[in-house]
Amino acid sequence: MISRDIIVAPSILAANFARLADEIHRVERAGADWIHCDIMDGHFVDNISFGPEIVSIVRKQTKLPLDVHLMIQRADHFVSRFAKAGADSVTVHVEREANHDVAKTLHGIRDAGCRPGLSLNPATPFAAVEPFLDEIDALLVMTVHPGFGGQTFRPEMMDKVKRAVHWKESHARQIDIEVDGGINAEMAKLSIENGANVLIAGTSIFHAENYSEAIQNLRGI
């Protein structure tokens, strides 16, 4: 049996937006720990989702922490807007920040009152985030290429999770290690076994008949 210390964060990208408030209330009652908001602008990834206004609406529907994942260009320009909308944590991509000041963006997130996170895509080596691990509260390992839900989990990404765990233990740092993409019960178990403690899941929760069972299955209980 896997510990309930595992954090499950349903991604509302997979929710029914025609009844979004009800969807949020249902996953909250079902035992969700966070609500995950995928923000996409059609440039950094080939899809468009929603902006600060929707995050503000979500904030009014729940007291759960809002975990905002910025898959957008000029993420640093929007941090304050998402913070004001109610984000508790804001994650940016190391790839987007390649020609920007990553540390400055992360500091800006913390200064805005949010937990800073950094994400890396499947094609990005772990070495790209290593210089910034001391600056973050969460590392998000993408287990699919970002932009669309319902993709197949890439188990080779567990090497990055293991390297993150090794860094965390060797530096005595408390950072969340998150996985996102294709997370079903089987892949959740694999991720947890390799050291991830935050499971971001959309389709496997919002397309299930019973949200409580779906979340319990991800936890492994």
Task: Name the residue range of residue 184's domain.
Answer: 7-219
Task: Please indicate, yes or no, if residue 89 is contained in any of the structural domains.
Answer: yes
According to the model, what pLDDT value does residue 146 have?
79
**Given 33, 38, 67, 76, the catalytic residue:** 38
According to the model, what pLDDT value does residue 164 have?
98
Task: Please indicate, yes or no, if residue 1 is contained in any of the structural domains.
Answer: no
In contact, 70 and 90? CB cutoff 8 Å: yes
According to the model, what pLDDT value does residue 213 have?
98
Task: Please indicate, yes or no, if residue 2 is contained in any of the structural domains.
Answer: no
Task: Please indicate, yes or no, if residue 143 is contained in any of the structural domains.
Answer: yes
**Given 33, 67, 76, 180, the catalytic residue:** 180
Task: Please indicate, yes or no, if residue 58 is contained in any of the structural domains.
Answer: yes
Q: Which amino acid is at 221?
A: I
In contact, 63 and 86? CB cutoff 8 Å: no
Mean pLDDT by groups of 10 residues along the chain of 221 residues: 78 97 99 98 92 98 98 93 99 78 94 98 96 97 81 92 98 97 96 98 97 97 78
In contact, 89 and 57? CB cutoff 8 Å: no
In contact, 58 and 86? CB cutoff 8 Å: yes
Task: Please indicate, yes or no, if residue 148 is contained in any of the structural domains.
Answer: yes
Structural domains in the chain (count): 1
pTM: 0.94
According to the model, what pLDDT value does residue 145 have?
84
In contact, 160 and 191? CB cutoff 8 Å: no
Q: Active site includes 38?
A: yes
According to the model, what pLDDT value does residue 152 have?
86
According to the model, what pLDDT value does residue 99 have?
56
Task: Please indicate, yes or no, if residue 214 is contained in any of the structural domains.
Answer: yes
Q: Active site includes 137?
A: no
d(CA 202, CA 47): 16
In contact, 10 and 206? CB cutoff 8 Å: yes
* 170: CATH: 3.20.20.70
Task: Please indicate, yes or no, if residue 80 is contained in any of the structural domains.
Answer: yes
> Which pair of structure tokens corresponds to residue 48?
């468009």
According to the model, what pLDDT value does residue 215 have?
98
